[in-house]
Amino acid sequence: MDKFDIIYDKASSLGCKIKRDVPMNKYTTFKIGGNARLFCEVENKTQLSTLITACAENDVKYIVIGKGSNIIVNDNGLEMLVIKLTGEFTTVQRIDETTLYCGAGLSLAGLCKEAEENSLSGLEFAWGIPGSVGGAVFMNAGAYGGEMKNVVYSVNHIDKDGKFGTIKACDLDLGYRHSVYKENGFTIIGVVIKLKLDNKNEIRNRMDDFMGRRKDKQPLDYPSAGSVFRRPEGAYAGALIEQCGLKGASVGGAQVSPKHAGFIVNTGGATAEDVKNLIEKIQTTVKNETGYDLKREVIFLN
């Protein structure tokens, strides 16, 4: 019995749904990626903590994913355990008049709808951003002048030893596409969100406005991982890429979106290698022609 068999048996004994050799292109918004050695759906904190501990004891790498909206999985797959949060991790509870607690696996769309239903404002900017709440905090997702930093009160997590903990907002180091979780390797399991009471119709109008802007400017009709590059200081990645004549450029099935040059889309059959090569082409061209170093925002999983 190898170490992956041990993890498989442990997950099964916990009542988790676990499978071998699962195609990751079904679990990423880019629709790209080879097979994960193990893929497990985890419903509660006890299961997750036990599995993380078992992985540490057996030297098995693991990753926890939400909606797969900011990742590109290697074409050869992942020699690790991929954990998808379900069950209690996709629920939301109202703590008091303006405070919500939501599981890390809940979609941002679900959280935005819950806020709207309760006449709570502060998350309108996130309406239309794909991904999960945990991923949004991990990357400090933001748009149209808003960011998760403005609404997060505290975050619950499980550390690499399977122990539970909480970090308050002041210690999260939330900055541009950054949080403390990018360094500490802990797994976000839940987030306390603090919002403000407002008129429900006005909240809906702002949500509709932001969604309308996204539909007008972003290539939502093709699989992608959202914005590919971080915003360089003093410029915009999309504008620099377009300036260099790369709008519409392609490698294999990966293409710089003709609608928004800050996006790379899967026009059909794109591979992770296609995306990687196109990103490198963009970075080299932009550096040579403008002097700007474009840094990736999307995460490659190997």
Interval 14-23: pLDDT, tens:
999 999 999 9
pLDDT at 300: 93
What ranges in the chain are assigned the alpha helix state H? Answer: 3-13, 45-57, 108-117, 133-138, 181-184, 200-217, 237-243, 272-290
Q: Is 12 a catalytic residue?
A: no
157: confidence class by pLDDT, cuts 50, 70, 90: very high
* Catalytic residue selected from 116, 177, 179, 257: 177
pLDDT at 130: 87
pLDDT of residue 69 exceeding 90, the answer is: no
CA 248/CA 122 separation, integer angstroms: 35
Q: What is the pLDDT of residues 210-247, one digit of tens each?
A: 999 988 888 888 999 989 999 999 999 999 999 999 99
Would you state the CATH architecture of domain 91-215?
A: 2-Layer Sandwich (3.30)
| Region(s) of the chain under CATH 3.30.43.10 | 3-87
* Catalytic residue selected from 69, 179, 227, 257: 227
**Coil vs helix vs strand at 68:** coil
Residue type, 222: Y
User: What percent of the chain has pLDDT above 70?
Assistant: 100
**Coil vs helix vs strand at 5:** helix
pLDDT at 220: 85
Mean pLDDT (the chain, rounded): 95
Q: Is 94 a catalytic residue?
A: no
Return the biggest CA–CA distance within the chain: 59
CA 86/CA 78 separation, integer angstroms: 21
| Region(s) of the chain under CATH 3.90.78.10 | 219-301
Which of 252, 280, 284, 282 lies closest to 268, judged by CA? 252
| Region(s) of the chain under CATH 3.30.465.10 | 91-215
Q: Is 79 a catalytic residue?
A: no
pTM of the model: 0.91
Burial class (CB in 10 A: 0-12, 13-18, 19+), 221: exposed
Residue 131: φ, ψ to 5°:
120, 180
Q: List Cβ neighbours of 46 (8 Å cut-off, separation of 6 or more).
A: 14
Is domain 219-301 annotated with CATH 1.10.287.180? no
CATH class of 3-87: alpha beta
